[in-house]
Structure 1
Amino acid sequence: MLVLAGILPDFRLQSASGDSATRIGVTAAAAAGVFGLLTALVWPLVVRALLLVPALVLGLLVFFLNGSLLLVALRLVPDGRGESDPQTAVVVAAVMSAVASATSTALAVRDDTAYRRRLYRLADRRRRRAVAITGPPTPGTVFLQLDGVGHDVLRDAVDKGLMPTVAGLLGASSAEGAAARPSHRLTSWRTEWSSQTGASQLGILHGSNHDVPAFRWYEKETGEVMVCNRPASAAELQRRAVAHTGDGGLLTVDGASRGNLFSGGADQLALVLSVSARRGRANRSRAGYFAYFSDPANAVRTAMSFVAEVLRELAQSTRARIGRTRPRIGRGGLYPLIRAFATVVERDVVVAAVIGDMLAGRSAVYADLVAYDEVAHHSGPRGRDAEQVLVRLDRSLALLAKVAEHAPRNYRLVLLSDHGQSPGETFRARYGLTLGDLVRAGCGLPVSRRARRTHSGAEARAAVRAALHRPVEEGAEQRRPAKGSEPVVLASGNLGLVSFPDVPGRMTKEHLDRRHPALLPTLANHPGIGFVLVRSAEHGPLVLGARGAELRLDSLPDPLPADFDPAELPEPLRDFGPAAVAAVRRTDGFPHVADLMVNSWYEPGDGEVLAFEEQIGSHGGLGGDQGRPFLLSPLALSPPTPDGAELVGAEQVHRVLRRWLREAADGPQVPVAAPTQPELDTPPSAGAAENPRPAGPADATFPVGDRAVEDKTH
């Protein structure tokens, strides 16, 4: 404060006639002390009150609120020696909060004993009880999902030196040429036809993604469009999965779910979409924002990073436009704010929540970081913009590894992704019309002369709209499509769905040929379409392609033999590989599969697809890297599959993660130092020994979500 008073002309800590250096120092100390008290006492109350307004508004008000508290502090300094203009007060408060954050973090890292003692005190104040370690705890597990990062993208980032933390886990050579001993193994796995977060994460967390044919689909019996990143739809999908499996989910035992579409059965929730529509105090998703922003230093740091990210996006999009980069889509409107939310706010809040879970000693944590996926949709999965996001995600991994040193139990870190992304221009950019226009033309319906842009289904938009208390989807998808003969056409990356609302049940090929004889030939023969799935009353599921190609799925063995020659796969699935047969066959059996399932063209040579949405990096269908995510697991855990067999489907990934949690629960035991009694403010509760879960000393310190606290340690 003294330094700032000497630099800024509109900020003073002395009377107009001048004061001695001692008096100025006393005034600075008094002002700083009052500001610190107001920050500690008033700020959390203000932030909690502001949970009634959108979370993003809170981020924009951070500087104003902090400056206001400083002005109040200066007014309370005796003799009116403290004075500042409002604009200067904002600057002073921001700098002071940033310095406080930097110094407190450095002190916490250097003094482990003081750090742990502080955690004990905070835990006791919040829950009014202390928890003692009753025995050596078994290892905990943190599952960190890097949304949209494909296996090959991760491998290339490691080879380029963009992700040194991941490289260290894999034992890759460092910049100095020294190779470390690997601690993790990298495995690829294959998604189903619907290669998107809704299907993958539902299967991973709840063990079933049955009847999730795409990111969005139309259900005829209700007339509703289900959208995976809409809170009401996510809650219904989670309910269906639990009913289908009879199990609560992966995280039912002492678990925490952070930043996900679904809860996984966890008790500790923060920024979970399936519960964001609830207004109950325990499940209020915005509590995660409160736990983070209740520290003004966090708020200021994140707000400054938010502004920097918006400016970075504006600069990058301008460079791409001036350089005439192809393919390219529009990145104006609210997108810079959405990107900044995904890459800064969501990342910071989720990482802070995971830190809290580790310090609390929770058994299992599953968190999703959507930063890469959002940027790759608009900049391309292998562009420089997306690579910079990978660099920052690696720093977050390094931070979690550092915090694990302070955790009350050993943690095993499992990195994974839910899908990859395939590059390519949009269907509309290449052909001047959307899939909806093509379907209308095939049905003989009027088509607009100017193709309208389709809606983007990027996952980050769901988190933003939930934070803004707004519906997840805008436009026609929020309304029930009118009952009539006009088709409902929806897009999920490079996968399109066509439904006829007035036809109960699934429309057959024979019925469709009588009603719209030109539709199937129009779609199947279009150069931007790879294949079309339709059901025949006579032949069962049919896959149609160009030049009259027709594959009867029932004519192929189920499953295909292990020695099946890919070259013998009939058109039109030959380019998509033998795995496409099982994926298409499974989707065909879903109750809510669309009348027509349309997969775009795919070029095996460069892995490009044509997105039916406004995305140059897309996922949701078959073709390319979108169907090949990764799983990075510790060598201490058993291999994902025996004998290196391929890991197929999110449901199989769920079973692997379940097995690893059982292995952690069964041992080996990992001893840690138990806290000495003087470090606890009160004796352990009488029932602590009866707790079946060995809990760490910080068990109640930083529960981000249903029990938010004002912790300032990170």
Structure 2
Amino acid sequence: MRVIAVWAVSTLTMLVLAGILPEFQLESDDGDTITRTAFTAAWGAGAFGLLSALVWPVLVRGLLVVPALVLGALVFFLNGSLLLIALRLIPDGRGVSDPETAVVVAAVMSAVASATSTALAVRDDEAYRRRLSRLADRRRRRDRSPSAPDPGRDGPPGTVFLQLDGVGHDTLVKAAAEGLMPTVAGWLADPAGHRLTPWRTDWSSQTGASQLAILHGSNHDVPAFRWYEKETRTVMVSSRPASALEMQRRAIARTRDGGLLTVDGASRGNLFSGGADQLALVLSMAARRGKGRRSRAGYFAYFSDPANATRTALSFAAEVAREICESTRARKTAPRVKRGGLYPLIRAFATVVERDVVVAAVLGDMFAGRTAVYADLVAYDEVAHHSGPHSRDAEKVLRRLDRSLALIVQIAAHTPRTYRIVLLSDHGQSPGETFAGQYGLTLRDLVRAGCGLPVPRRAQRTRSASEARDAVRIALHRPVEGQEAEHPAKPSDPIVLASGNLGLLSFPDIEGRASREQIDRRHPALLGTLANHPGIGFLLVRSEEHGSLVLGPGGVEVPVGELRDGEGPLAGFGVGAAAAVRRTDTFPHVADVMINSRYDPATGTVHAFEEQIGSHGGLGGEQSRPFLLWPRGMTDPLDIVAAETAETEEGLHGLRPPPGGELVGAEAVHRVLAHWLHECSGPQVPVRAEGFAGADRANEPFPAAAPLPKTPGAAAS
């Protein structure tokens, strides 16, 4: 009956469009009776519906070789082509349309048919459950062995981890209180709902470090979003596929564990796989060759429905137009950064395409009854970088993310097994004018001035980078490029890299970690210039005589071992800053000089060394305070921490809760999530490194490491 109803509505839509659009004709030149015209419309609507159901998925699967955004642009052309074919199937040649009109008619008919089918299915709960059950059965037969147990709704629950990239704890609380996120507000208000706690990031408060630890249990030797490795003369960048794959390999080798998702897991929209079998839009997998690039299957799963493709393409165009209008309005406000060029497309990709594909993939995983799903929604993080974390633009994104969350909650009531939904973030964002905007020169310019090297008369932009920006380049099959600042003109010139308000300075021609004495002999004024600049909070540098030191303004020098929170150069940076600096100091690839921007506790602002007015990557403010929101009934994270800490006399790194009652470090979050999976779904059997580091679950080998460039500063990918 629903098929007949959808067919009838599609027929009526086609008749209305034929009456409105002069180039779309359903009658012969001599005219037809109303009955004959209606019959023609019904024939055309039926033929178009069959072609959409049978031919469209084949076309999309064949077009997975083209870039994702190109596929989105082809949606209208392909849909229009199917309509032209359907019109040719009408007897006596009564269906006529020019190609441009066919595109419009096909888009409207796909949207109307999808809306009608969805509305009818939702009103008929039993039919809706049957449909989901059939879909779940098909997925289970495809993805599981026949002997695999079916947990059912009375069995152990599955767990969905949804990461709201860049949404800090205070931002979430404020959004819930102001009605921007009613689903979250309902969870917090319900005594039987969810519980919320903040956690504290490492010094490197960014997705690369946080998500690597959350999914793979370790972010050791990840000092920043990007860093320079002298032994290979390589710049590692967390959002580059080759770097992400190498980071994942190192974490697996260190933990001897495949990851959080190795048992019947799915990884969606993440930088790293987590050891999951099922992948979609996973950046580290984009570095693989051949069949290993299974992450692109997420596009097929979503775009195989022509209505999805049309809706997303229209939303994409609307988001581009919205960004152009908002950026025009923002020209009169401060602080601001340039938002032209490709940025409107990047924003639309992050807030529309990636969101829609990832959410659809999560729903598919729930239909299939998978045990653990981890998905990253990057929309807020990308918009907040350019519009500010508390801007009207960012608030609109939070509203749309809450609607996506509400959809997942609604679907969870109909899935073949029950699901517990855990919401979390990997870091927050701190607002503030850029370093270059505030002081008229970039960090690279300041370093060159301190070294006595030529400085451009006009401040050069430090191009911003993010997961979404590089994901767009990958979707377009374009290489992920590095910053010009990564390539020194001479081997002796310093390499200056930026990760939000954290800067990294390396001297490529000095073997190993350069000491303060070596730097002073070569550039006597450099460290003093940096430490006394009003936009810089503190420096970390190694001394041959005193060990590692933290330098602050006015000649303040504190050995790392004597650092205290709230004192000396770390005054104002909050609890845990000293421990975060000490831990990073132990990393093999810590930069010669680590530079953290100034932080103003009164305003909560920092100065990003990139073109970002909402930033993260270092210490200071909301960026270091993400959140964890979990259903009541699951063990409290601090209880998990206390139990694991009690297992040793000294305690485990990153697990001991501070006096304020927060989780410390992303590695602690990994242990909490792993504990929840264990208590929700029974004992997990992790895949050890010897079964995963060299080959994935399908026994497909990782590609051999690409030859590393031999010129200073050349990027790995």
Calculate the TM-score normalised by the size of structure 2: 0.88
Between 1:145-154 and 1:54-63, the stretch displaced more is 54-63
Which runs of structure 2 are paired with 1:312-711 in the superposition (5 Å)?
312-321=322-331, 324-476=332-484, 484-556=491-563, 569-642=566-639, 645-666=661-682
Report the Cα distance in structure 1 between the residues aligned to 2:352 and 2:151, rounded to whole angstroms: 39
Partner of 2:397, secondary structure, is: helix
Match of 1:176 in 2: none
The CA deviation string for residues 41-69 of structure 1, in whole angstroms up to 9 with x for no partner, is 22122212221211001111211111111
CA contact (8 A) 2:265 2:277 kept: yes
Match of 2:166 in 1: 148
Which runs of structure 2 are paired with 1:181-192 in the superposition (5 Å)?
181-192=191-202
Q: CA deviation at 1:74?
A: 0.8
Please, which of 291, 307, 310 is the counterpart of residue 297 of structure 1?
307
Report the Cα distance in structure 2 between the residues aligned to 1:661 and 1:283, rounded to whole angstroms: 27
Report the Cα distance in structure 2 between the residues aligned to 1:663 and 1:134, rounded to whole angstroms: 15
Report the Cα distance in structure 2 between the residues aligned to 1:492 and 1:75, rounded to whole angstroms: 57
Percent of aligned pairs with the same residue?
74
The CA deviation string for residues 107-134 of structure 1, in whole angstroms up to 9 with x for no partner, is 2222333334334555666757978847
Partner of 2:110, secondary structure, is: helix
Structure 2 CA distance for partners of 1:284 and 1:344, relative to 1, 3 Å: same
Report the Cα distance in structure 1 between the residues aligned to 2:127 and 2:179, rounded to whole angstroms: 36
Report the Cα distance in structure 2 between the residues aligned to 1:488 and 1:480, rounded to whole angstroms: 7
Report the Cα distance in structure 2 between the residues aligned to 1:435 and 1:472, rounded to whole angstroms: 23
The CA deviation string for residues 289-317 of structure 1, in whole angstroms up to 9 with x for no partner, is 11101110000000010111111111111
Report the Cα distance in structure 1 between the residues aligned to 2:151 and 2:300, rounded to whole angstroms: 32
The structure showing larger relative contact order (alpha-carbon pairs under 8 Å, at least 6 residues apart) is: 1
Partner of 1:235, secondary structure, is: helix
Q: Which amino acid aligns with 2:183?
A: T
Report the Cα distance in structure 2 between the residues aligned to 1:122 and 1:655, rounded to whole angstroms: 33
Please, which of 49, 53, 57 is the counterpart of residue 66 of structure 2?
53
Report the Cα distance in structure 2 between the residues aligned to 1:69 and 1:355, rounded to whole angstroms: 28
Report the Cα distance in structure 1 between the residues aligned to 2:171 and 2:352, rounded to whole angstroms: 21
Match of 2:22 in 1: 9
The CA deviation string for residues 594-618 of structure 1, in whole angstroms up to 9 with x for no partner, is 0000000110101100000000000
Tell whether 2:239 aligns with 1:229: yes
Q: CA deviation at 1:91?
A: 1.0
Tell whether 2:188 aligns with 1:170: yes
Report the Cα distance in structure 2 between the residues aligned to 1:506 and 1:474, rounded to whole angstroms: 23
Which runs of structure 2 are paired with 1:190-269 in the superposition (5 Å)?
190-269=200-279
CA contact (8 A) 1:223 1:480 kept: no
Report the Cα distance in structure 2 between the residues aligned to 1:378 and 1:343, rounded to whole angstroms: 13
Report the Cα distance in structure 1 between the residues aligned to 2:633 and 2:488, rounded to whole angstroms: 52
Q: CA deviation at 1:431?
A: 1.1
Calculate the TM-score normalised by the size of structure 1: 0.88
Report the Cα distance in structure 2 between the residues aligned to 1:268 and 1:623, rounded to whole angstroms: 37
Q: CA deviation at 1:369?
A: 0.2
Partner of 1:641, secondary structure, is: helix
Aligned pair count reads: 649
Structure 2 CA distance for partners of 1:134 and 1:413, relative to 1, 3 Å: closer
Please, which of 284, 287, 301 is the counterpart of residue 297 of structure 2?
287
Report the Cα distance in structure 2 between the residues aligned to 1:101 and 1:533, rounded to whole angstroms: 58
The CA deviation string for residues 359-380 of structure 1, in whole angstroms up to 9 with x for no partner, is 1110100000000000000000
CA contact (8 A) 1:404 1:411 kept: yes
Q: Which amino acid aligns with 2:34?
A: A
Q: CA deviation at 1:26?
A: 1.4
Match of 2:6 in 1: none
Structure 1: runs of 5 or more not aligned = 172-179, 561-565, 668-705, 707-714
Structure 2: runs of 5 or more not aligned = 1-13, 643-659, 684-699, 701-717
Q: Which amino acid aligns with 1:604?
A: P
Match of 2:317 in 1: 307
Report the Cα distance in structure 2 between the residues aligned to 1:39 and 1:134, rounded to whole angstroms: 34
Report the Cα distance in structure 1 between the residues aligned to 2:194 and 2:151, rounded to whole angstroms: 30
CA contact (8 A) 1:292 1:298 kept: yes
Report the Cα distance in structure 1 between the residues aligned to 2:621 and 2:388, rounded to whole angstroms: 14
The CA deviation string for residues 198-238 of structure 1, in whole angstroms up to 9 with x for no partner, is 00000100000000000000000000000000000000000
Q: CA deviation at 1:555?
A: 2.9
Report the Cα distance in structure 2 between the residues aligned to 1:457 and 1:94, rounded to whole angstroms: 35
Please, which of 48, 57, 81 is the counterpart of residue 68 of structure 1?
81
Please, which of 254, 271, 282 is the counterpart of residue 272 of structure 1?
282
Tell whether 2:96 aligns with 1:83: yes
Partner of 2:508, secondary structure, is: coil
The CA deviation string for residues 7-45 of structure 1, in whole angstroms up to 9 with x for no partner, is 222211111111122211211111111111221222122
Structure 2 CA distance for partners of 1:134 and 1:538, relative to 1, 3 Å: closer
Q: CA deviation at 1:257?
A: 0.3
Report the Cα distance in structure 2 between the residues aligned to 1:364 and 1:512, rounded to whole angstroms: 49
Report the Cα distance in structure 2 between the residues aligned to 1:317 and 1:120, rounded to whole angstroms: 45
> Which consecutive aligned stretches of 4+ in structure 1 deviate over 4 angstroms post-superposition?
119-132, 479-483
Report the Cα distance in structure 2 between the residues aligned to 1:591 and 1:599, rounded to whole angstroms: 19
Report the Cα distance in structure 2 between the residues aligned to 1:578 and 1:405, rounded to whole angstroms: 41
Q: Cα RMSD between the aligned structures?
A: 2.0
Q: CA deviation at 1:256?
A: 0.4
The CA deviation string for residues 571-611 of structure 1, in whole angstroms up to 9 with x for no partner, is 11112124110000000100000000000011010110000
Report the Cα distance in structure 1 between the residues aligned to 2:367 and 2:601, rounded to whole angstroms: 46
Between 1:20-29 and 1:203-212, the stretch displaced more is 20-29
CA contact (8 A) 1:225 1:480 kept: no
Report the Cα distance in structure 1 between the residues aligned to 2:607 and 2:458, rounded to whole angstroms: 19
Between 1:643-652 and 1:15-24, the stretch displaced more is 643-652
Partner of 2:422, secondary structure, is: strand
Q: CA deviation at 1:181?
A: 3.4
Report the Cα distance in structure 1 between the residues aligned to 2:482 and 2:581, rounded to whole angstroms: 30
Q: Which amino acid aligns with 1:608?
A: T
The CA deviation string for residues 420-467 of structure 1, in whole angstroms up to 9 with x for no partner, is 000001111111111001101111111111121112122211221111
Partner of 1:496, secondary structure, is: strand
Q: Which amino acid aligns with 1:237?
A: M
Q: CA deviation at 1:482?
A: 6.6
CA contact (8 A) 1:488 1:501 kept: yes
CA contact (8 A) 2:135 2:367 kept: no
Partner of 1:490, secondary structure, is: strand
